[in-house]
Amino acid sequence: MGLEYLALVTAVFGSVAAAAERFTAIAKLLFKDLRDDPTKPPPKGIDGRGICVYAVAYVGGLIVAAFWGEGGKWGVDGHLVLKVSATQEHTLPVAVVALFGLAGSAFWSSTISFISAAKDIKNTALKEMRRTEAPMDRPDAIKR
């Protein structure tokens, strides 16, 4: 698996996370019990509101990921087909994609930034290696 594949998977997770966040925002507008109450201290441990918010986010991510299912057919039991190249593809279960979408779009955006930086470092190292090896491979390229 190369950096291109990691970037693709991260972009998919980030897109699902952004959609799940929108579903959650809409649900909070429709159902006042899901909204944060700034007058109350945050609950200790697991509370019902928090579980409901995560459930809404997961269902939102599941719906979006299901639309990207294989063959263009909607289905929560399907798989996403990620084409890495013309000859290579990987599949991910829709339910797993929705679960990773719960990490939040900010997390996946930062992950994409790190992957992009790693690609830049790799490309710079390859260019530097080619630049330093080129004169030895081609004697006519050496300046006199």
Tens digit of pLDDT for each residue in 65-87?
Answer: 888 766 556 666 777 777 766 77
Q: Average pLDDT over the chain, rounded to whole?
A: 78
For the stretch 87-129, pLDDT in tens is 777 788 888 888 888 887 778 778 878 888 888 888 888 888 8
The number of folded domains in the chain is: 1
- Amino acid in the structure at residue 24: T
The three-state (H, E, C) secondary structure of the chain, written as one string: CCHHHHHHHHHHHHHHHHHHHHHHHHHHHHCHHHCCCCCCCCCCCCCHHHHHHHHHHHHHHHHHHHHCCHHHCCCCCCEEEEECCCCCEEEEEHHHHHHHHCCCHHHHHHHHHHHHHHHHHHHHHHHHHHHHHHHHHCHHHCCC
pLDDT for the residue 115: 82
For residues 75 and 77, give the distance between their C-alpha atoms in angstroms, rounded to a whole number: 5
Whether 80 and 68 have beta carbons less than 8 Å apart is answered as yes
For the stretch 13-64, pLDDT in tens is 888 888 888 888 898 889 888 887 778 777 777 788 888 888 888 898 888 8
Note down the domain range covering 23: 3-141
What's the whole-model pTM score? 0.66
